[in-house]
Amino acid sequence: MENGRFRRSLLFKLEGLKLRPKDPFQLAACGTICYQLGHYDEAEEFYTKAMKYNTEVVEVWYFMGRIYEENKKYEEAIAFYKIVLDKDQDCINAKKRIKNLYNN
């Protein structure tokens, strides 16, 4: 998906947040779009808000790990991936990311 489509998707999701500002799934979706656009600070803000309203959205914890990994904060990234595995022990992506971080 090109950046223009991501930006349009974000605008659409932001409109939805006006109606349901505490919806953790909409907040997470906005965070994921920002992450895909490379706007990690904004993504982290959306994910932090999503966690405030629902701590069980595994995607949020996973992408927080990705943000910290992108920012070379590897210990923090691993901590987030471990939370993912506490919530979903079958998350292959979190397992792979932890393994890669320990091997580098």
For residue 44, name the pLDDT band (cuts at 50, 70, 90): very high
Instruction: Determine the pLDDT at residue 104.
Output: 72
- Is residue 1 over pLDDT 90? no
Q: Sketch out the chain's domains with CATH numbers.
A: 3-103 (1.25.40.10)
> Token match 């997470």: residue?
28
- Encoded tokens for 70: 């992108």
- Is residue 4 over pLDDT 80? no
Contact 41, 56 (CB under 8 A): no
Q: Whole-model pTM?
A: 0.86
pLDDT in tens, 46-103: 999 999 999 999 999 999 999 999 999 999 999 999 999 999 999 999 999 999 999 8
